[in-house]
Chains A and B, each alone.
Chain A
Amino acid sequence: MKNTTFGKVDAAFAFLIRFRALVVAAVAVVTLAMGWQASQIEVKTIFSDLLPRNHPYVEVNQRFSKTFGGSNMVSIMLEVEQGDIFDPVVLGKVQKLTVDLQQVEGVDTYQIISLASKKIKEVRASTEGVESRPLMWPDLPQGAGELAALKAAVLNNPLVYGPYVSTDLKATLVTLDFSDGNMDYTRAFNQLMKLVGEAEGDGVKVRIVGEPVLYGWVNHYLQETLTIFFAAVAALVVLLCLITRTWHGTVLPLLAGLVSAIWALGAARLMGFHLDPLVVVVAFLITAQAISNSVQLIARFDDETRQGTPSAAAAARASARNLFKPSMLAIVADAGCVLVVALTPIPLLQKISFIGTVWVLTIAVSALVLTPVMLSWFGSRQRFIHPVNINPLLMRILGICSAIVTTRWRYAVLGMAAAVFVVSGLYAFNLKVGDANPGSPILWPESDYNRDAAEINRQFQGSDRMFVVVAGKEPGALREPEVLSSMTRFQKYMEAQPEVGGSISLADILPQVNRVLREGNPMYQELGKSTEENAELMYMFVSGSDPGDMDRYADADAKNGAVTLFFRDHQGETIRTAVARVRDYVAEHPVKGAEYLLAGGLVGVLAAVNEVILAGQIEAIALALLVLVVCCTITYRSTVAGVFFMIPVLLSNTITFSYMAWQGIGMNINTLPVVALGIGLGVDYTFYIVDGIRENLHRAHNVERAIVNALMGPGKGVLITAMTLITSVVLWHFSSLRLQADMGVLIALWLFISAFSALFIMPALVYVFRPEFIVGSKRRPIEQAEPVLVG
């Protein structure tokens, strides 16, 4: 049976090689068509793609973000170097900025809030009664007297002093929100940065943070990302050329990677997907797969020609036939593992998963078919294109591998691997879901953005917001003293967490109004005693203001309101603690007439993302392993095979997770694609080695010889691939985006461990345990190969 399959594969490749001109032409035509599609693909970030589908928090966010502030909030801080902000120049800048921000594309003009906006008001008692009027709108204060009055009004207003003016009076905040949906981050970012640049100067420092700004920075570095990508590819070419010393060894792997990429991106465009700049590294990961497959074929081709296979076509056929099984297994298992990622209900991950699956599957054409077909054109004589020969070095390394496997050192290697597995397995539990450090992990800690974020969070209550909706059962619920006092206690409870810098709600405003009504006496800074009294206080606050001014706190019929919590950071730990505390509070203190709904704003949706990732983490890993086990079990018709191939995968995963935990790289929406795609990545090197051992055993039944031969044959391909890819991946380290640098290191680590397991650990395992599916047994002896007719 074995030999009949072999025969069929051989016949198929013979057919392909006979009509090689047609095959290449067909691939070229498809590539051109796909290339045209791929060139149309949009590279951009869509925030809504990051939000889990059907998650209750996301639904609350979508329902209420228009009124209570969504996840696209931007904070701009104007900070004076000397004196305080009560200076005509500084206030003039605040006013100009507030007006100009209305022109920024996609901005929600009702949600621009600053000292100079109409929304920030003071409530004061006068001889005519109580009036609420804007602090600094429409005109700036004139003269020292009005400046002093403004300062007094600010100091007296806890809704301003603290949230919008820093406690040391040296900084003031302008916040704005964008309408959620398909906003163009690049355009908005450029316009914002222009305004920030204009406001800077005259002793005023301007800082800006917020999700649109962050993604603006990412897009800003897109050019650099592409430059690094092409530099990495160039490095690959140089390295392949250096190591293989042949044109076909240099060009064909690259061709395989290129064709795969073009087909995959074209397919992505046809499926209506766009490309997120942050996942460009993922592209590199799959390209690495394509190159690895191609290099194996070429290495085999070179071996065949060296051993005197008569024609290039025959050598190409032989290599394609012999490597068909491990290559196909690697492709199918990988594609399965990548497809599992689509189970995570986050659109971005699903898109990446679909693109990735298609991408991996295209390798079947770009490497498995195209490489042997192209090889058949190259002469069988070895012509070296440069004199540098590092082949002896490679052979030395492989010699060390063989020496270790065939001597007692193999026990040391296995013992070490077991120890590393146990230690890294335990340490991997320190891996955090969500961001592991303050600031954005996408950018370097010393980047402008992260410095701005740290500074704003130091001076103010926190730039990251979460709103918890207080949903009344009936209109007017938010006037009930019971509901309002519950909100006050809830805010107090939440503020006990150190990362929560503050909170604001209707229950903060009414006591202020009450105090003003009572001659400013703080002993009356409290909620009304009755529904009627609270209604009156609310009326006092909104009288004379525009409809919609209260929207940030409660809707017009006082049915739904929000408690907005300000966070100093959005680390996974912070968010989890806050969400758990909200749940605890709500469970322990039910309030009649209203319920608390989690959660909106940036922190709210991040909480949803983290929950989904945390819940799906085990599922994704377990199912990916399952796919792998099933693929291997079917291929080798042995359940032991499935378990055997889990070993390198588990090892590379525990070590990578440990590295992430050690380096403070959290498992979040940006790192998950790489991590998930990497699960299946580690195993294909081992497929080639194990298949090499089996193949050698077909010829002669000597396990030791078979292992050494496999290391010298497919082992060389593994070594070449690993060396070239690891070296070129290092280039990502120079990215201005920390995420890409981190992911580059992660991929390099992955490739290294995979290669190491394939060359050292797995052969030793085969030698020691002699699994039946590889070395055979008395019951199921290895079939001895009949010489395949070539010609």
Chain B
Amino acid sequence: MLRRLRKYGGGARGVVTLMTSSAPLVIVGGLLYAGLFVKAEAVVQKVEPPAIERRDSFYGVAAPDERTVWAVGAGGKIVRSEDGGHSWTRQPSGIDANLQGIAAWDAQDAVAVGNDGIVLVTHDAGASWTRAEVPSSGNPNKFFRVRLANGAAWAVGEYGALLRSDDRGATWKRVLPEEDRAWNDVAFVGDAGWVVGEFGALMKSADGGATWQAVEMANKVSLMSVAFRDADNGVAVGLAGTLLVTSDGGASWQQVPALTREHLYSVVWDDGRWLAVGDKGVMASADAGAAQWQLGRVAEGDVSWRTQVARAGSRYFLAGSNLAVLDDGALSVAGHKRM
């Protein structure tokens, strides 16, 4: 018994000796292994792309109520704000093509249009956007803008595209035949409607858009936008600072002497005044008579181009080479820390 214990004791001592004498070898082996095979791996921080990226340009903006704002732009980008433009979240559009225009019935329902005949519709505040069927075309089929009038949605675009939807964007039908001229904007007041386009073209409708008549225009410069404050008084703006004013429902137009050589891309009737925005930060405004125009800037030092302006409450939202909010004269550019 005792001998056996001693034998075990001897064994244990042997194990300890083996361990102490092998430890250095293990260390040497470990070093050799580490030296030859272990490679340090860099830990890389994750970068979350912001909702609005520096490179983003926006073409269309819509503000159905004071808090809700949607904007669409290059690369299929759709962003939405639910706090009046303070913070923005990206919405999945599922496409890479540029989106050019957006219009919203309310905070839930909206329609966006863009390049390659793309029309996207949402009924759930933008959580999901689905492609709508549009009449096929063999021509470049880029839509520029979408407008709402009397519950219907109207889209304008290249190759004479003027499309109408009466079911909140689900189906669309062509109202005018295709021709080699783009329509850039459409506006309605009641049953009276107007479309403007390339080379100064303008058509008007008196029956809610069922039939359209071309208006003979002296101006041959492309018109980019049109707005009316009632069935008679309206303004159309276009390239190279073109400003046209009508007071007879669009039958005849007077050219306002050009204030600027910069392009004007969008005009709106802004609750008592006309407001137009365009290239390099220019902004033109006039009182209801539209006779006396003043040229200014969206903000001092700002030289971005702007393709659309929308207002909700006291704030203006500007789509263009960036997405900006103008609040009481102070311009803040969404997604830009430095400015």
Contacts and interface: CB of A to CB of B under 8 A. Distances in A.
A630 B55 contact: no
Given A495-B55, A580-B44, A522 B32 contact: no
B42 A626 contact: no
Contacts of B301: 168
A697 B339 CA distance: 76
Interface residues of B, number: 51
Interface stretch (B45-53, B163-171, B201-209, B246-254): B45-53
A408 B42 CA distance: 44
Given A488-B75, A577-B44, A618-B38, A626 B32 contact: yes
B272 interface: no
B280 A576 contact: no
B74 to A, nearest CB: 7
Interface in A152-196: 152, 155-156, 161, 167-168
Contact of B45 (A485, A492, A573): A573
B263 A495 contact: no
Contact of B280 (A155, A491, A630): A155
A581 B35 contact: no
A526 B115 CA distance: 10
Given A492-B75, A521-B239, A617 B40 contact: yes
Contacts of B34: 618-619, 622
B42 A519 contact: no
Nearest to B59: A523
A394 B302 CA distance: 72
Interface string B13-56: 00000001101110110011011101110101101111001111
B213 to A, nearest CB: 26
Contact of A526 (B54, B74, B265): B74
Nearest to B23: A643
B35 A155 contact: no
Contact of A629 (B31, B36, B44, B56): B31
Nearest to A643: B24
Contacts of B144: 523
A623 B38 CA distance: 12
Interface string B170-213: 00000000000000000000000000000000000000000000
A496 B315 CA distance: 28
Given A614-B42, A622-B34, A495 B47 contact: no
| B47, B75, B144, B239 interface centre (most CB from chain A within 10 Å) | B47
A618 B263 CA distance: 62
Given A522-B307, A639-B21, A576 B27 contact: no
Contacts of A485: 96
B321 interface: yes
Contact of A523 (B24, B50, B100): B100
A161 B53 CA distance: 18
Nearest to B144: A523
B98 interface: yes
Contacts of B55: 491-492, 495
B298 to A, nearest CB: 14
Interface residues of A, number: 49
Given A485-B96, A522-B321, A622-B35, A642 B28 contact: yes
A347 interface: no
Given A495-B53, A614-B42, A629-B31, A520 B263 contact: yes
A581 B96 contact: no
Interface in A477-511: 485, 488-489, 491-493, 495-498, 502
A309 interface: no
Nearest to B101: A523
A581 B47 contact: yes
Nearest to A503: B55
A519 B222 contact: yes
Contacts of B48: 496
A423 B31 CA distance: 21
Given A519-B222, A523-B59, A496 B47 contact: yes
A639 B28 contact: yes
Interface string A519-553: 11111011001000000000000000000000000
B263 A521 contact: yes
Contacts of B56: 492
B303 interface: yes
Interface string A602-624: 00000000010011011100110
A646 B23 CA distance: 13
A615 B339 contact: no
Contacts of A492: 49, 53, 55-56, 75
Contacts of A581: 44, 47
A62 interface: no
B27 A614 contact: no
A511 to B, nearest CB: 9
A526 B23 CA distance: 68
Given A168-B301, A639-B25, A642-B24, A496 B50 contact: yes
A168 B21 CA distance: 72
B285 interface: no
Nearest to B39: A615
B265 A576 contact: no
Interface string B258-290: 000001010000000000000110000000000
B31 A577 contact: no
Nearest to B320: A522
A404 to B, nearest CB: 27
| The 7 A-B residue pairs with the shortest CB-CB distance in the complex, in nearest-first order | A639-B24, A622-B35, A496-B49, A622-B34, A623-B35, A580-B44, A626-B31
Interface of A: 152, 155-156, 161, 167-168, 433, 485, 488-489, 491-493, 495-498, 502, 519-523, 525-526, 529, 573, 576-577, 580-581, 611, 614-615, 617-619, 622-623, 625-626, 629-630, 633, 639-640, 642-643, 646
27 contacts: A161-B303, A168-B301, A489-B75, A492-B55, A493-B49, A495-B53, A495-B54, A495-B55, A498-B47, A502-B54, A522-B307, A523-B59, A523-B100, A526-B74, A577-B47, A580-B42, A581-B44, A618-B40, A619-B34, A622-B32, A622-B35, A629-B24, A629-B28, A629-B31, A642-B24, A643-B27, A646-B27
Given A167-B339, A525-B74, 12 more contacts: A155-B280, A520-B263, A522-B265, A523-B307, A618-B39, A619-B34, A619-B35, A623-B31, A626-B32, A630-B28, A639-B24, A642-B24
